[in-house]
Structure 1
Amino acid sequence: MGLFPRYPADPASVYAAAAETEAKLKPLGALRGAVKSQHAQAVAASSNGMVVPPLMGALDPVIRVCEAVLQSGAYSAGCIRFWGDAITTYNTGVDGLNRRYEEAVGDGFGQTAPSLWDYLGGGRAGEYVDDLRAHQVDLAAAKAALIGQLEREEQTLDGTLDDEATRVTGWLDRGASDASVLALVRAGAMPLSVVDIFPGIDFSGIDMAALSRRLLVQGRSGFLDPAQFPTAESARKLLDLLREDGVPPADYGPLLQRYWLLTATEKAGIYLDGWDPSQGADANLGNLVASYDYYGELFLNNPDFQWAGMASMIGPTFAGGMFDLQLLRQLGDIAST
């Protein structure tokens, strides 16, 4: 054991608590995503005169309730993770102090002990005892000076940890505010999906390029998860922030791809995250029809998109092949019983 102990709580358990909190929010996030996707599809349909505008806001109360709970949970998880980072910083500092002390012990605290053999060989045996005592005094003084310095530095670390504990406690007591959410995001304690979860907060003051680098150093590159953005509008909001701050496109490529997928599926009237090909052709009939209808609409609105027109024409044949394959599988299942 070193000169100074680590903080009693293991940061890994603190991080696990934050992750567990976020995991419990996933079903609610999925519900909100589905409702927002329906809303986005309604907006797209409204532009074509298919939906009466007042009906587009019919599910807004559901979105607001989901967002309130998601905001509270995501904020709590961010506070917990921030505390875990504070403990990690403290432990790293303590480890450094202990390492310096152990290195000093191995180096004799910078003091060289007198060698008896040198004194015997030089005919100065009578001086050895006095020089040894002087060395011991110097050694004790050097050791005490180092310990004193390390203790002062440990007190600084301890004070900083206390300050962070007070800050986190205050954040949790007062609840989420623009300032506290922005502070947590800057610290790398919250996923970038907060840009969507907290639509009322202005995130433009955050240096996204610096934050991306920070998340990479923290091992949290997964904090930019495209799947957490349920609509093209939500993905576009973060994309704009990343572009404005000069984040390399390669760093947000998956999010950009999802943005265009969401843009197309919303216009086609398809809920992207509910599209599961493994459910078979029957379950996806609506998606199949919507896809090829969308191709046809693309061609009619943009005659240069001949590929879209051709895709719309062959769509029924392609879909028919899917149903044929499904029928063969069903016949195989029947034959095997």
Structure 2
Amino acid sequence: MSPTADSQPKPAVLIAGSGPSGLILALTLVKNDIPVRIIEKDSEFHEGQRGSGVQPRTLEVFNYLGCLDDMLKKAKPAEPRAVYKLPEGVEIAKIVEMAPYIPPTPSVPYRNPVIHGQASSEAVLRTHLAKYNIFVELETELVDFQQNPDSVTAHVVKRSGGKEVRETLTVDWLVGADGAHSFVRNKLGLTFLGETRPAESIIIADVEVKGLSTDYWHSWGDQSTKSVWLRPTETPGVFHLMAGGKQADLATMQQGREQIIKYILDVTNRHDLEFREVKFVKEWRPNIRIVNKFSEGRVFVIGDAGHVHSPTGGQGMNTGVQDAVSQRATDAQ
């Protein structure tokens, strides 16, 4: 059973949010003997692939923190993408190298990105935090804070069994790793300049598929009409779906498994495949935004709370990791 917050040393840093950025920051701090507490307002840990493209610099961070070997146990290389001819959907028209292999060297041992779903990465990080007796406190939400000259007063609410327990604690520093809708960023009054591109929205999901090769990312169609991408994941038989296009009905796809499978079959014409469980269905809407600065006094924002990106190159998760291990947050230029 996880220890209660009362049994822990008084935290010097309170982290709100338990995604990759928050977990990496917590692990970085405890490995440097800085007491930390990490809270998460959701009742369950996050599911799905989300930020799954892990770039070489992030692999270096994982190695530095001692968790790389556990990450690589299930990680996959970035396979080439197979583009299929339509309407048959079976013959490959071309192969696109997503990340051509670069031989490692003694000075640069991690030169190639890997695929490791965000839920799996977060689970590994939580396991390593547990070695330091640090556990994510679920259903615990930061609801307010005030800054003092030498501390931050934080107000949190822990929910359990329909009951709420309120707590006020004093910490040296507060970090908002609480995502794109960050309470911490909004409370600080930071701007979040940029744009939203609703026309480029897609549906993402994890789909169990039988009969499809795991040697490629598989793609049919294009964004000008309708498209389907199925990428193999670190879980055997499970593929990450990205479905969209100007003619795609995203609202209908969100109605459930049958609608998603119908859309996949309509686009791919792959009736030879067997589609089973569909989970983690979500509309993903592209946002490209950044804060005007990453800190105010003793309060910081990192990860999606400070910047959101297109999915190209795994920018979101990988830049969030860099936020977490930087020596200090600096104002955006």
Fold agreement, TM-score > 0.5:
no
Higher helix share: 1
Which protein shows a greater Rg?
1
Q: How does the TM-score come out when normalised to structure 2?
A: 0.19
Q: How does the TM-score come out when normalised to structure 1?
A: 0.19
